[in-house]
Amino acid sequence: MLIIFFRSIILYVIVLIVMRFMGKREIGQLQPFELAISIMIADLASIPMAEIGIPITNGIIPILGLLAMHLIISIINLKSIKAREIICGKPAILIYRGKIDEKALKKERFTVNELQERLRGNNVVNLGDVEYAILETNGQVTVIQKPDKRTTIPQDFNIEPEYEGIPYDLVVDGKIMTANLKAIGKNYAWLKAQVEKFNMKPEEALIVTFDGKGQIFCQKKQNK
């Protein structure tokens, strides 16, 4: 049992490293070749993980081979548009100028009910509100609503919002984010003075953030 335990840890670390090399997209939305590789990696890791009689290298070497294949395919996709279309496919327009394309639905094996479900996933409940619906190569549906149905933005009223920037985490679970403090040109003394306004010390904070407008959000950790 102890051997299986350590083999599982080794294979888990290997798979984790491989997935990190493959990029962030593997965690979320997958292209077909990425999904295939992810499934195969899981299968290759599970066999030597449970079977003591199988050398652990029988799982590690094929996994590294799949990583190399993934990197090669990724480079080909970057270099050739034609190869990208063959490997990943092309987006399909399911709704064009407000009209459902039945041929596209049949080609992609999509039912009207499935289309409606995907639209609801994009917070669109009425088919009549959609100008374009595009089935992306990763299986997601991108929805572009008709101009009179879209959510208004400041530009519609000739309003130019102030620049907001990105918020910085200054304290996370009581730990001071020194690099972020330097990024905004502040130091610990400034942080302490700001946090004390909330009746706590920086080390007592669950989270402290600083946004582009200079606003600070602070919440204290609960006492254990």
Would you say 206 and 166 are in contact if contact means Cβ atoms under 8 Å apart?
no
Report the pLDDT value the prediction gives residue 26, as an integer from 0 to 100: 44
List, for residues 85-122, the tens digit of each pLDDT value: 777 778 899 999 999 999 999 988 888 898 999 999 99
The pTM score is 0.62
Going by pLDDT thresholds of 50, 70 and 90, the confidence category of residue 59 is: confident
For residue 80, report the phi and psi dihedrals to the nearest 5 degrees: -130, 120
Is it the case that residue 219 has pLDDT exceeding 90? yes
- The overall average pLDDT reported for the chain is 83
Within 10 A of 110 (CB to CB), how many other CB atoms are there? 20
Report the pLDDT value the prediction gives residue 177, as an integer from 0 to 100: 93
Going by pLDDT thresholds of 50, 70 and 90, the confidence category of residue 8 is: low
Structural domains of the chain ordered from first start: 2-86 (no CATH), 92-149 (3.30.240.20), 168-220 (3.30.240.20)
Going by pLDDT thresholds of 50, 70 and 90, the confidence category of residue 195 is: very high
How far is CA 159 from each of CA 62, 94, 152, rounded to the nearest angstrom?
A: 57, 34, 11
Q: At 222, list the tokens.
A: 């609960």
Within 10 A of 124 (CB to CB), how many other CB atoms are there? 19
Report the percent of the chain where pLDDT is more than 70.
88
Going by pLDDT thresholds of 50, 70 and 90, the confidence category of residue 23 is: low
HEC-encoded secondary structure of the chain:
CHHHHHHHHHHHHHHHHHHHHHCHHHHCCCCHHHHHHHHHHHHHHHHHHHCCCCCCHHHHHHHHHHHHHHHHHHHHHHHCHHHHHHHHCCCEEEEECCEECHHHHHHCCCCHHHHHHHHHHCCCCCHHHEEEEEECCCCCEEEEECHHHCCCCHHHHCCCCCCCCCCEEEEECCEECHHHHHHCCCCHHHHHHHHHHHCCCHHHEEEEEECCCCCEEEEECCCC
Mean pLDDT across 183-188: 92
